[in-house]
Structure 1
Amino acid sequence: MAVTIRDVASAAGVSVSTVSRAFTAPDQVQARTRQRILDAAAKLGYSPNPAARSLRGGGTGTLGLIVPDIANPFFPPIVKAMQARARRLGHTVLVADSDEREADELETIAAVSRRVDGLVLWASTLSEDRLRGIAEQLPVVLVNRHVPGIPEVRISLSAGIAQAAEHLRAYGHRRCVFVNASREELRRGKSVHESFEALDLSLAELGPYEPRFETGVHAATLVAAHGATAVIAHNDLVALGVLHQMAKLGIRVPQDVSVIGIDDTLLASVSTPGLTTIRIDPEEIAVRAGDLLIETIGARAGGAGSSGRTSGAGGGTGFVEIGSRLIPRASTGPAPTH
């Protein structure tokens, strides 16, 4: 029976992704750790030849990434970072867009899965049963979606939302609006409502809508009618739609209404006024999702079964959490005194 990368990882006491880096990007692995991996590989008779692995196991050397909306400025930096990370580890990345529609996502997965060794699915709209079925056929990592038994990268907004609530309260705001563009609880963890209510901030919710610029345009008029002095939006695109419509309505930001987005895209820093937002690091997401997928592929190749659960360097079970933080800019300020 051929020796697999997982066998080497087990013998060396490291993760599958660390073994992969030791052969494809040795400068990213400590010298002592790399030597231990090389010794284990030599002892087991493991060969890291990519062509041989492809012929033996039918691997393509390609990772799949399916995102909901490639036009959203949040995703291009993630795609770029994942491509760079994959290239350093000896892989390429195939990117596709599901357009946030279940039928399109299924069609895209069916087309892409034939060309890749595994898939990263971002905020999948599919049912848990469908996702489990896909994960049985192909290594899968979910981002912003939880299905027991499937490896997951979870983006936690708890810290960023708590900081946003503290920020608004310090400025004297009391009546706020959350523009929701998600049918599930926002990014899990401590919800927007819990964070705001903990500081005695009133929070009305609009939606759920689609997470697009037009949603913010629509919501801005409702915010004005509601009499709120602060808005937190589902993402930067929605927040920018709010800013755009507020300007058309003659509502000053932040003098009359403060606005906060989520993601910290490039547009947030160049908008007028600059958008206060909750930052999620795109490079960290790309690296962690890519590494977790490579580990999952390695585990499957090593006969770990079809559950998709893997053990990371720290002995985890295929779960990674990414944090967040508030980036204050010019779109937030003191609440109006009238």
Structure 2
Amino acid sequence: MVTRKEVAEKAGVSVSVVSRAMNNSGYVEAEKKKRILEVADKLGYYPHPVAEALQKRRTKQLLFFCKDLRNSFYIDMYQGMVEAARKRDYMMVFNGSMDFEKIRDAMIDGIIMPNEVVTQHYLDTVGRNYRIPVIAASYGNPARFSRAVPRVEIDMEKVMELAVRELRANGHKRLALAMPYPFRTMDVRRLAFCSLMEEVYGNRIKDYYIGIHREELPEDPRILAFQEDEDRESGMYLPEEDFFGKGELAAQLFAERKIDATAVVAFNDEFALGMCKRFHALGIQVPRDISLIGIDGSSARKYRDPCLTSVGLFPEKQGARCVDTLLDMLEGKKVKYVSGSPIKLIKGDSVRKLE
């Protein structure tokens, strides 16, 4: 077993300097730190809290790192992970804290990240020197990770194509998009929608975009209710995002602006269900007065009337594939850097066919 003392001797530094470099704590000259990390990699030394035990046997545990406990999408994803792990004699554990430092003390063999944003935060901090295997659930958003991380990706461009195609097949030509981000966002949903609807709206496409974000609503006091959600963009604080509440506000704005669309594509199912609730309170009936389609296909969509039409992302299958890919990595098998996950239109009762 390689020890820190061996790393220190090989790198020509003290054990305490190795500790600071590997733990990313305290000052270490950049060149010296680089040399230490290179030596550690070459010798196969990993600063894991249970390194001795792990070299003899695995913990048989994987960690799903996710704080968004209110979102049924991630709950479904976790259930898929649990079942896939059980089939391979592993157990899933769940971390609902955004304190990456606590990972150092966890007895785990690998980590599953919920999306690109959380993955990059991890790689920029603890993950710079903590080389435990990581895999990310991904949604096609632009992300250049600071080191190679395999991902199980859902093609959100095709997802948006399915949503728009379903609405057009039912006679809808004027469509709106409701999102929790500003119009300038590079989120694939927004980019794909604009591409698909450009020939219909031209430079008026922003009139059919509802962004629940302070950048879009700088003078609207109602956005203050979501202030904490938006703080996630500028630092390590990554709270749950209130998609349901933002959906309610989106429906209110749709009515206030008198947008002449006959159908709305919502960011996700939680967002769509929030819109449904507010539309109902405003006396706007779904689908009689406005058609609505979500994205996720989560279990929550079935418990609303009308049942939400959604593009199913099958989060439980994505979660299961994350587990299988991560375990294949641990077993030394070759894995694809990017592997896909299935999508399918799931019809409900929230889209009306126009005559």
Change (3 A) 1:131 1:90: same
Paired position in structure 2 for 1:311 = 334
CA-to-partner distance for each residue in 1:62-87, whole Å, 9 max, x for gaps?
Answer: 10101241221112222122112112
Q: Does 1:71 align with 2:75?
A: no
Paired position in structure 2 for 1:6 = none
Paired position in structure 1 for 2:353 = 334
| Aligned 1:1-338 pairs, distance under 5 A | 54=53, 56-57=55-56, 59-98=58-97, 105=98, 107=99, 109-115=100-106, 116-126=108-118, 128=120, 130-131=122-123, 134=127, 136-137=129-130, 138-144=132-138, 146-148=143-145, 149-181=148-180, 185-186=186-187, 191-197=192-198, 204-209=208-213, 210=241, 212-224=243-255, 225=257, 226-299=259-332, 311-312=334-335, 316=336, 318-335=337-354
Q: Structure 2 regions of 5+ residues with no counterpart?
A: 2-51, 214-240
Distance of 2:345 and 2:339 partners within structure 1: 21
**Residue 97 of structure 1: CA displacement?**
2.3
Change (3 A) 1:151 1:182: farther
Contact preservation (8 Å) 1:135, 1:150 = no
Distance of 1:198 and 1:291 partners within structure 2: 42
Change (3 A) 1:285 1:270: same
Contact preservation (8 Å) 2:243, 2:271 = yes
Contact preservation (8 Å) 1:185, 1:191 = no
Change (3 A) 1:189 1:178: closer
Contact preservation (8 Å) 2:160, 2:189 = no
CA-to-partner distance for each residue in 1:95-152, whole Å, 9 max, x for gaps?
Answer: 1225xxxxxx2x1x32134221111111253584751551651211111264441111
Distance of 1:162 and 1:198 partners within structure 2: 15
Identity, in percent, stands at: 26
**Residue 194 of structure 1: CA displacement?**
2.0
CA-to-partner distance for each residue in 1:192-243, whole Å, 9 max, x for gaps?
Answer: 2223446779672222544511001100011122232111111111100100
Point out 4+ residue stretches in structure 1 off by more than 4 angstroms: 187-190, 198-203, 208-211
Farther-moved stretch of structure 1 (157-166 vs 190-199): 190-199
Once superposed, what is the RMSD of the aligned Cα atoms?
Answer: 2.9
Q: Structure 1 regions of 5+ residues with no counterpart?
A: 2-52, 99-104, 300-309
Distance of 2:290 and 2:135 partners within structure 1: 39
Amino acid of the residue matched to residue 118 of structure 1? G
Distance of 1:170 and 1:296 partners within structure 2: 43
Contact preservation (8 Å) 1:152, 1:319 = yes
Amino acid of the residue matched to residue 123 of structure 2? L
Tell me how many residue pairs correspond in the alignment. 263
Contact preservation (8 Å) 1:235, 1:263 = yes
**Residue 154 of structure 1: CA displacement?**
1.2
Distance of 1:326 and 1:288 partners within structure 2: 20
Distance of 1:188 and 1:117 partners within structure 2: 34
Change (3 A) 1:205 1:68: farther
TM-score when normalising by structure 2: 0.66
Distance of 1:216 and 1:298 partners within structure 2: 43
Distance of 2:57 and 2:339 partners within structure 1: 28
Secondary structure in 2 matching 1:74: helix
Paired position in structure 1 for 2:220 = none
